[in-house]
Structure 1
């Protein structure tokens, strides 16, 4: 298991963080961090989330610099990602069970978790992962986000 998340995983986090940084200040409310982590399919014990929040916001200001968040959380999340979790996440996104994630399914997921992403951003996400060029993301392509496990 890698100690760091891949570039693609960090990019996914950046999208989630930007959605919670509406004014572009480069900070996010500490209260939003568990939501961002959960929305990306990670399950971390509550005690560890509390530890992460304390490390990121020791003065309890209520906000966290996004760069600090990426550095610390990428190490913690990488250690919690298993192939089984990747498969579970993929299956939850593959709503119709056809073995791939379509643009429509990704759009539904982002809307369901309250992430406002444009159609062009959703298409770019799919294109980035779509190795075989069929316009959809199969499990092997999806798993490349987690290739260091």
Structure 2
């Protein structure tokens, strides 16, 4: 596995903490299912179990941060196709207008069990909103994956 930058490791830790709803330091099968559901990924119980087994290298039945990091780090070094990025963007762009608004971001985060304050939502939008129009375009979204 290639070495992650501090920023990448911090992003993965933030994502892990978002999915670890009970703050146990582990992602359970139900937390993994909730995460997939929040992203509109329809998975059967068997598919969730297979994903959990693939990530759970110590066979504990849960995913700790190192297992999560090892599984997810590959995505930091992968170049995504335009179709993959478009599909991901569409999951956030609920109204299909070509932009992710703070309301859409709030909705997806809420479905993941993370309730952000208006200040946190605005800070997230601002960090990606390169042209400062108050919303995230597809091109701005893609900068997350460069």
TM over 0.5: yes
Cα separation, 1, equivalents of 2:9 and 2:81: 14
**Distance (whole Å) between structure 1 residues aligned to residue 4 and residue 138 of structure 2:** 18
**2:18 alignment partner in structure 1:** 19
Which residue of structure 1 aligns with residue 56 of structure 2? 56
TM-superposed deviation, 1:117: 2.8
CA RMSD of aligned residues (A): 3.8
Q: How far apart are the structure 2 equivalents of 1:93 and 1:18?
A: 20
- Flag structure 1 segments of 5+ consecutive residues without an equivalent: none
Q: Which moved more, 1:20-29 or 1:49-58?
A: 49-58
2:63 counterpart SS class? strand
CA distance in 1, matches of 2:37, 2:3: 18
| Aligned counterparts, 1:4-43, within 5 A | 11=11, 13-33=12-32, 35-36=34-35, 39-40=38-39
Contact persistence 2:109–2:116 (CA under 8 A): yes
Do residues 120 (structure 1) and 116 (structure 2) align? no
Compared with structure 1, are the counterparts of its residues 90 and 102 closer, same or farther at alpha carbon in structure 2 (3 Å cutoff)?
same
Change (3 A) 1:54 1:94: closer
Normalising by structure 2, what TM-score?
0.68
The one of the two structures with greater contact order (alpha-carbon pairs below 8 A, sep at least 6) is: 1
Q: Give 1:4 deviation, angstroms.
A: 8.7
Please state whether the residue corresponding to 2:131 is helix, strand or coil: coil
Match of 2:100 in 1: 101
Shift of 1:55: 5.1
1:104-129 Cα offsets, whole Å, 9 max, x none, are: 11112222343333332222221111
